[in-house]
Structure 1
């Protein structure tokens, strides 16, 4: 069965929805808010997403171990039509399918985590207010100080799913989302950080807890990605009820 471009959201939702935690980011990108920035490739029951709302575009390809070989075939077939430079999130074992077409520079192993014990949220005192368009400038200043390598699109504030702690005219901690889709019942936390001068006060856990409580009113699955060697962040997420459910690797791909 050859690889094909897939344009039917219902088909994609059915395939991805079989494992909504593993595919939370892709399910979220089916939402109207993100859909115009997506291209989808399908081979049988395997799906890969190219998200081109960022520069460079990002390829998402996740599979359970039993499906890795089938998804690798899809990636090898689609490699010739991918951009010359892109970023990629790949389940372990998939990188070799692209190695003949791209130089792969590793961005490290990451954990996919999911909120599996929401009762732990009650053990953290939530803090923060919902941020809006007027908070864009202080939010960008916070990211410049505390998280300059993050990926943040100002459109994300339009979701209404960013929570921050203010001190005067400045933001000291924030938790937001990369995707949020009530239609597909998934959310993925992102752009979480605390001002370096305010760390060690529990603000990270407080804003994450506040955001998770807010998200659980509209979605079933709350997930996030975190770099595997970021032990402090992993501990904080575990404290509020997240557990590790999958591993994946990030790469910068450059055509050869």
Structure 2
């Protein structure tokens, strides 16, 4: 088998579509909106067998390495270790983190679940009348909201340009938001992200309302909606299940720092 740098979107998509929900983020990153921030490596033997993505559109590069064939992915990762940045955040299936132990300090950020919206009928159970659309004009207000309500999150203000950020206000104050990390009408996928409620307003079902409205709007242009959530966040997982999401896979997030 041969390791190659990939440039053919159709070839990459064909492999990723073997498990769309598992590779939702990577498929979305094929969109022109994200493509220029991506580098792709693949394992070839007659056809493409495995693929990994390095996304550089954030302050810290991100490696997406998700698979149902860990032996092949191990081979691919071992062949590109010398090409990786000194610091990189990773999404890794199974025990793939151990591959980096000799070269990198591996700091685990825990197990995460991938969940997929598989029953959109659940969305209609929630009253979304108070949910409003947020735009680029709200960028400063949104950033301040996350500083207070979700300080550890990663928010790319560019994503407000998609039109798929929704919130609830109490008076003039944003108290709950749901948005997207990835959105591609071309590839018909969306990955939800930056979902949070102000600490003083939690327990009122506000997140369910904003997520329900967001998903209802997204389903007008995409066919696949998914999200990532920490595997030990039982409250959030129950919330998403009530909205029609189900578990797809578990993976580990790690920060790698070159030794």
TM surpasses 0.5: yes
Partner of 1:168: 171
Q: 1:1-256 residue pairs with structure 2 within 5 A?
A: 1-44=1-44, 45-64=49-68, 67-126=69-128, 127-256=130-259
For structure 1, the residue ranges without an aligned partner over 5 or more in a row are: none
d(CA) in 2 for partners of 1:47, 1:170? 43
**Structure 1 length as normaliser, TM-score?**
0.97
**Is 1:73–1:97's contact at 8 Å kept on the other side of the alignment?**
no
**Structure 2 length as normaliser, TM-score?**
0.96
Q: Shift of residue 172 of structure 1?
A: 0.9
**Is 1:59–1:87's contact at 8 Å kept on the other side of the alignment?**
yes
Q: Shift of residue 2 of structure 1?
A: 2.0
d(CA) in 2 for partners of 1:78, 1:129? 45
Q: Shift of residue 17 of structure 1?
A: 1.2
For residues 66-120 of structure 1, the C-alpha deviation after alignment (integer angstroms, 9 at most, x for no partner) is x111011101110101001110000112112222221110000000000011111
| Number of equivalenced pairs | 254
RMSD, aligned CA? 0.9
**Is 1:3–1:41's contact at 8 Å kept on the other side of the alignment?**
yes
d(CA) in 2 for partners of 1:251, 1:123? 36
For residues 193-251 of structure 1, the C-alpha deviation after alignment (integer angstroms, 9 at most, x for no partner) is 01111111110000000001011111111000000111111111111010111000000
**Is 1:138–1:169's contact at 8 Å kept on the other side of the alignment?**
no
What's the secondary structure of 1:43's corresponding residue? strand
What's the secondary structure of 2:33's corresponding residue? coil
